[in-house]
Amino acid sequence: MLEKRTASGSWPFQHRRCSGVLLHPTSLPGELSAGDLGHNAYRFIEFLAASGMRVWQMLPLGPTHEDNSPYQCLSVHAGNPLLISLDWLADYGWLRKPRYPTNINASKAWRLDCLRLARAGFEATSNTTTQQAYAAFQTEHAHWLEDYALYIALRREQNQQAWWDWPEEERDRKPAAMEKAKQRLAQDIAQVVFEQFVFFSQWHELKDYAHQHGIALFGDVPIFVAHDSAEVWAQREYFSVDAHGKAETVAGVPPDYFSETGQYWGNPQYRWDRLQEDGFSWWIERLRTQLAMFDLLRIDHFRGFEAFWEIPADAKTAIDGHWVKAPGEALLQALHAAFHRLPLVAEDLGIITPEVEQLRQAFKLPGMKILQFAFDGNSDNPYLPHNHETHSVVYTGTHDNDTSLSWYQGLSLNERQRLRDYLGFDVEANMPWPLIRCALASVADMAILPMQDVLGLGKGNRMNLPGTIDNNWCWRFQWAQLPTTLSAQLRHLNVLYSRYQVL
């Protein structure tokens, strides 16, 4: 059952070479529409250990909107209840052994129904120790849990409308309206609290199992927060929204590798002056939750700590934005004071200026090296292996890239020739393994391989296509796709390139 966790205070792989796999839990196999924290997650940890891997990297774990994007969550603290294992609930006796629905598309609503049944079972059968753990969980997480539970209950009452479209009294959190809502929605609020208790209980059991097998868990923190989220609703003084909750300025990036018109993310910008006035307590609490869950964290869009691309909310595309300085040094100093040495990785992709590099290096944060970005014919390209830094994380590709096989197949003949010339042999027949070897051989302390590349998958298997909203975040694998020799093959390469040793 749930135990209190404290944040680790240092980069956990100092002076060690290691490797891992990038796989979001929703991509695990299973009988429902998405993977979860159940038996297949434990089996995946066993696969990593058998393969000589030491890291499981995943995407943010928060509750998502209907588009299922883990980068636009309903809360920066809460866990996604759809990741809860129903088998775990049955093992605890709070739910009858589930009989999975024949229509996989209906499984989301079915999961939520099962969670309601599990709460009834929990209230009827849980022992004193479990009840005490439940009470302790509520006390420990009260600083975010109370607002989140009320927000979700109100959102359901309002047919999942965004909070700025709610009746004015609920939208603006008028005290009398909040008290009435807490009474009116008491059962719905209790259900949300129970789901979070179960999620975090399951998570920490999984984390313990990972540690028993020498596997570290690598999380992801999006720099920005979804407009329709508990935090913006409850703490709007920290966000660029008007008196009615409408966004004034929003986040995104200018034109880049992924999009000719840039990316209009739509997240409200921070009011950095207010955050700084409060000693960045909002960020400290956010990181405290995540560092209790993970051994290390990637800060998505790290460059936004130095300067962010501010777009008028009514703009059509991100082209209309401009750069605005952010107090990144002051923020990182506050986080360093709170947590000492920070186990963070800076996602430093895109338009990176000397100022961004200086900020990253000042706090000794490793950056990212993406091999799919390396072979443009420029020998000074920082993603080429001979330009890698030891204190960095190398990837064949990320969740925003195509699979390495599909990427290779989309290269021109000249680009393929450059890749062959650099690697020194013909890569045609064995792709993506030449790129995997290249990552593992890098001087970078850590090498991360997307599961799609480990399985050698081609077109149609990417996790996300930036700038689009359809058919993303739904990729999954099946155990039958793993060759019987795969673990031995990976373990051999990890030993060969000194990435396998006991931590």
Residues in the chain: 503
- 320 classed as catalytic: no
As a whole number of angstroms, the distance between CA 344 and CA 340 comes to: 12
Give me the catalytic one of 140, 146, 357, 400: 400
The CA-based dihedral angle spanning residues 269, 272, 274, 278, taken in that order and rounded to the nearest 10 degrees: 130
Joined tokens for residue 484: 């019987």
Joined tokens for residue 157: 């009452």
CA-to-CA separations, 406 to 49, 372, 397, 448, 457, in angstroms, rounded? 28, 11, 11, 18, 8
Q: Identify the DSSP state of 355.
A: H
Partners of residue 22 on adjacent β-strands: 57, 450
Nearest CA-CA partner of 7 in 391, 342, 365, 503: 342
Give me the catalytic one of 170, 188, 231, 300: 300
- 179 classed as catalytic: no
State the Rg of the chain over Cα.
Answer: 23
CB-based contacts of 323, cutoff 8 Å, min separation 6: 307, 308, 309, 310
Q: Per-residue b/e over 445-472, b at no fewer than 16 CB within 10 Å?
A: bbbbbbbbbbbbbbeebbbbeeeeeeeb
CB-based contacts of 26, cutoff 8 Å, min separation 6: 34, 35, 36, 68, 83, 473, 474, 476
Give me the catalytic one of 347, 348, 402, 453: 347
Nearest CA-CA partner of 280 in 339, 201, 240: 339
Backbone φ, ψ for residue 328 (5° rounding): -60, -40
- 300 classed as catalytic: yes
Joined tokens for residue 109: 């609503």
As a whole number of angstroms, the distance between CA 248 and CA 240 comes to: 6
Residue in the block written with tokens 């990176």: 352
Joined tokens for residue 143: 């600083």
Element housing 149 (H / E):
helix 142-157
Joined tokens for residue 3: 């135990």
Backbone φ, ψ for residue 255 (5° rounding): -50, 135
Partners of residue 394 on adjacent β-strands: 369, 447
Q: Identify the DSSP state of 223.
A: S
Partners of residue 247 on adjacent β-strands: 241
Nearest CA-CA partner of 107 in 36, 210, 202: 36
Residues designated catalytic: 300, 347, 400
